[in-house]
Amino acid sequence: MRLRITFAKQGALRYTGQIDLHRIWERSARRSDLPLAYSRGFHPQPKIQLAAALPLGFSSRCEVVDLRLERDIPLDGLIERLQSAVPPGLTILSVEQEDESVPALGTLIESAEYEVTLLGKVSLADLRAKIGDLQAAASLLRERREKRYDLRPLIENLDISPLDPQVIRMRLAAREGATGRPDEILAELGIPLEDARVERTRLIIRESQP
C-alpha cells in the first residue's frame, strides 16, 4: 500500500535536513505501528520517499512524503495516529492512498512556491525596482557548488504580495537538475538571509498523463 502524506514542517524542524527528515519519518512510522515496507538485501532500507529537499532553515506548509506499507491498513484515524507520533513542528495535513503505478514522487515535482517575509524595514519602491530588474534581466549567471548556471529561467514568478508589502512571493522551478532556491533570489535582491523568513507554500506536482 502506498500512502501519500502532506505535512507542514515548522518550528524547530526548520533546522533539520533531508536525511534527518527521512529518519524522523522512519521512527514516526514505527511509533505509529505502521507496517513499513523495507527493501531487501544486506542493509534493508525503509521505503520512504521524500521529494524536493527543503533547504535548512526554511519552513513549509506543503511537504509531501510517500510511505510504502507491507500490507493495506484502513485510512480511518490515520491522521490522528500519525500526528501523535511525529515531533512537534510537524503537522499532518492529509493522508491518502496513492496508486502503485504512479511514478516516483521526485520525478513529479515541477515547481515550488515560496513566501518570503522580510523582517527588517524595506523601502517598497526600492524592492519593486529590484524585482523589476531581475525580471527584466535576460540571464542571471551564478555559481553553485563550483558549477555555473543561469538562475533567470528558473524564476517562473516573482512579485510582492498584494496583501502584505513585507512579503515577497515567488515560484521557482523544482525539477531534477533545474532547481531555483529562494536564498539565491534574495542574494540577487541584495537581502541578507537572516533578515528574511522563508516558507514553502505549494509544491506543483505534474499530474500523471495517461
Question: Which residues contact other proteins by CB under 8 A?
Answer: 11-16, 19-20, 23-24, 26-31, 38, 44, 56-57, 85-89, 193-195, 197
Closest approach, Cβ 189 to other proteins, in A, equals: 17
Cβ atoms of 142 and 148 closer than 8 Å: yes
β-strands 59-68, 196-205: how paired? Answer: parallel
Q: Shortest distance, CB of residue 50 to other proteins, whole angstroms?
A: 15
Give min distance, CB of 170 to other proteins, in A. Answer: 19
CA 98 remoteness from chain centre: 19
Closest contact distance (angstroms) between CB of 33 and other proteins is 8
Choose between 25 and 149: whose C-beta lies nearer to other proteins: 25
- 45 versus 94: smaller Cβ distance to other proteins: 45
Question: Would you call 95 helix, strand, or coil by DSSP?
Answer: strand
Of residues 98 and 195, the one with the C-beta less far from other proteins:
195
Alpha helix (H) ranges present in the chain? 18-31, 78-83, 105-108, 124-136, 182-189
Rank residues 71 and 148 by Cβ distance to other proteins and give the closer one: 71
From residue 6, give the alpha-carbon distance in Å to each of 15, 78, 90, 93.
Answer: 19, 13, 10, 5
